[in-house]
Structure formats: C-alpha cells, structure tokens
C-alpha cells in the first residue's frame, strides 16, 4: 500500500490495480473539515483504497464528495459500492455520464462485450448510485473539496462525459485520461483511445484548453503528478497523432484487426524497450490495453470514412 503526500492537504493513494503498483491513483483532498476523493477506482481495488485511508487515519464515512473525471470503470466503478457503505458520500460527475451511474446497465453491457468473463476479476461489482446522491456537473461548475476550490472543465475526446478538475490557486489540474497515461519514472506517454466515443478532434481542443489554463502540475489517474506540463501535453498530442496514424493506415489498407493490435503493441513497446522495470510493459498495458485503443481508433476511422 503506497500513499504519497503531494502538498497542501493532497494525497495520492495507489490502488494497486491487479496487484501492481503505479497503475491507478485516487486523490484525497483534505482540509477545512472536509474530505473528498477524486477518482474512486474500480470495486476490485476497494480494499487498497480503504487501506490507504486507514494509513492516513481517515474514516471513509467522513468523506463527503466523490469526484470522478468520467464514468469508465477504472475511474468510477466503485462509486456505487462506496455510497452504499457510506451514505454520507455524494458523487459528482458530468451530466452526460450521470444517468449511467444511476442506471449502469448500458455501461455494464458495453464493458461485458469487451471483457467477458474477465469483468469480475478486473473491475469487481458495479452497483447503481442513488439518484439523490448524484450531482451532475456542467462546464465550469465550481466545487469546494477539502481546502480547495475546484472547477470542473468539460474536456471531451477520450469520452463524451469527461471533465478535468482545475484548482486555480495551486495550479493543479486533475486530468483523468485526457492527458494520457504516463507511469512514474517514465517519459513514455500512451494515449488511451477506447471505444465507444473517442473523438480525436475534440481531444485536440481539450488539450488546447488545458494548456490555456497554464497548469503548474498535472495529476494523472494513470499515474501520479507530472511537473513538466508543456512537454507532457505536447507529447500527448504527438503520441495521439502517432497512434492514430499507426492504426488508421492499417485499417484503411484492409488489415485484419488482430494484426493491427499486435503491430500497435509492438510499436508501443519500443518506447520502453530495455526499461529497468520488468513490470513496465504489463503496467502500461493494464492502464491502457492496446486492443481497446485499437478498437476505439478503428471505430473513429469507420465513423469518419463511413458515416452512414
């Protein structure tokens, strides 16, 4: 169990997804007599989350706000279970995603088509969030969380229900997936491009919007704080274009989907070839599976070139 103090009452809790460190982070905000979490993670990591809170001597029942960047299971899957156990908690989520947290049947059906019998081991139980405990966010919604005043900023591209949370006082931006995946100690950035609704054009605009905020620090769900903000955002844009090119050329040439997956994985792994960390490839793959990134990009190209 790893808990990192990040300054001004902010902590990162490593959720140790699938038993590995540095894949999914949940951020705890403290102060002003209030506790809030940004990202719940999936229910499969709930015990790691609770262990992190115990390490900090915080009763989970004292947490009042769960803020998620979007509704994908690695970011919000544990919300219903947490609120069932601790009714003082309330969920904050973009208005497009809110109905799917109240009734997750379509969300789960989509995930089950992708993961099949791996659903349980990967994500654990997903249960509805009571409507009375859901607060739908719009662009520029202000939220107090711990000792911070945050603004939810609508940043579609990775998902149509994605927001980042900006703290104008500290300069911190909690980025979810729109600023991609980058494990601690690595320069390698991988853009998570899963189905069903990635939009590369909207994603580019969202990155520009984050840049315009002038962040002092990016706090990634996958994984941790990044201080080289300009370089990171530039490389995110470059890698997003590179992955789209790798998949798009092969798809438009008629290559078999499984072969595209294999070739994208080989392309991605060249960035970490020779890494001292033997778990790096597995952890990157857990954070953003190559097959899902391939499927999302193929879907995007299919919609663009065959809109009917």
Arithmetic mean of pLDDT over the chain: 94
Question: Which residues are 91's β-sheet partners?
Answer: 66, 134
Q: What domains lie within the chain, and their CATH numbers?
A: 3-305 (3.60.15.10)
208: helix, strand or coil: helix
Q: What is the pTM of this model?
A: 0.95
Cβ–Cβ < 8 Å for 142, 62: no
Summarize pLDDT for 79-95 with one digit per residue, the tens: 999 999 999 999 999 99
Three-state SS annotation for 24-76: CEEEEEEECCEEEEECCCCHHHHHHHHHHHHHCCCCHHHEEEEECCCCCHHHH
pLDDT band with cut points at 50, 70 and 90 for residue 30: very high
59: number of Cβ within 10 Å:
11
273: helix, strand or coil: coil
Average pLDDT over residues 145-162: 95
Cβ–Cβ < 8 Å for 238, 250: no
Summarize pLDDT for 7-18 with one digit per residue, the tens: 989 999 999 999
DSSP letter for 78, please: T
Distance of CA 149 to the CA centre of its chain: 21
Average pLDDT over residues 266-286: 84
Question: Which residues are 11's β-sheet partners?
Answer: 5, 28
pLDDT band with cut points at 50, 70 and 90 for residue 125: very high
Helix axis angle, 257-269 to 290-305, nearest 10°? 120
pLDDT band with cut points at 50, 70 and 90 for residue 262: very high
pLDDT of residue 56 exceeding 80, the answer is yes
CA 162 vs CA 27, 176, 272: distances in Å:
17, 8, 28
pLDDT at 304: 81
Summarize pLDDT for 212-254 with one digit per residue, the tens: 999 999 999 999 999 999 999 999 999 999 999 999 999 999 9
């Amino acid at each position: 169990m790893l808990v990192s103090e990040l300054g001004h009452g902010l902590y990162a809790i490593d959720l140790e997804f699938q038993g590995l460190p540095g894949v999914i982070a949940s951020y705890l905000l403290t102060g002003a007599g209030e506790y809030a979490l940004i990202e719940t993670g999936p229910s499969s990591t709930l015990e790691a989350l609770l262990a992190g809170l115990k390490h900090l001597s915080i009763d989970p029942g004292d947490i009042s706000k769960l803020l998620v960047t979007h509704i994908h299971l690695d970011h919000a899957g544990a919300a219903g279970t947490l609120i069932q156990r601790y009714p003082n908690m309330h969920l904050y989520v973009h208005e497009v995603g809110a109905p799917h947290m109240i009734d997750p049947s379509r969300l789960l059906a989509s995930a089950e088509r992708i993961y099949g019998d791996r659903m349980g081991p990967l994500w654990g139980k997903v249960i509805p969030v009571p409507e009375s405990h859901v607060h739908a966010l719009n662009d520029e919604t202000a939220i107090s969380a711990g000792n911070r005043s945050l603004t939810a900023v609508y940043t579609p591209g990775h998902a149509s229900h994605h927001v980042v949370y900006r703290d104008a006082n500290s300069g911190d931006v909690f980025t979810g997936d729109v600023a991609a995946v980058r494990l601690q100690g690595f320069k390698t950035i991988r853009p998570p491009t899963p189905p069903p609704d990635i939009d590369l054009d909207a994603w580019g605009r969202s990155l520009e919007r984050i840049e315009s905020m002038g962040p002092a620090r990016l706090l990634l769900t996958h994984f941790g704080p990044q201080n080289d903000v300009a370089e990171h955002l530039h490389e995110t844009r470059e890698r997003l274009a590179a992955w789209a090119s790798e998949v798009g050329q092969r798809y438009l040439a008629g290559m078999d989907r499984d072969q595209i997956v294999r070739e994208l994985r080989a392309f991605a792994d060249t960035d970490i070839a020779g890494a001292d960390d033997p778990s790096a490839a597995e952890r990157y793959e857990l954070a953003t599976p190559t097959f899902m990134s391939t499927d999302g990009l193929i879907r995007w190209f299919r919609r663009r070139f065959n809109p009917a």
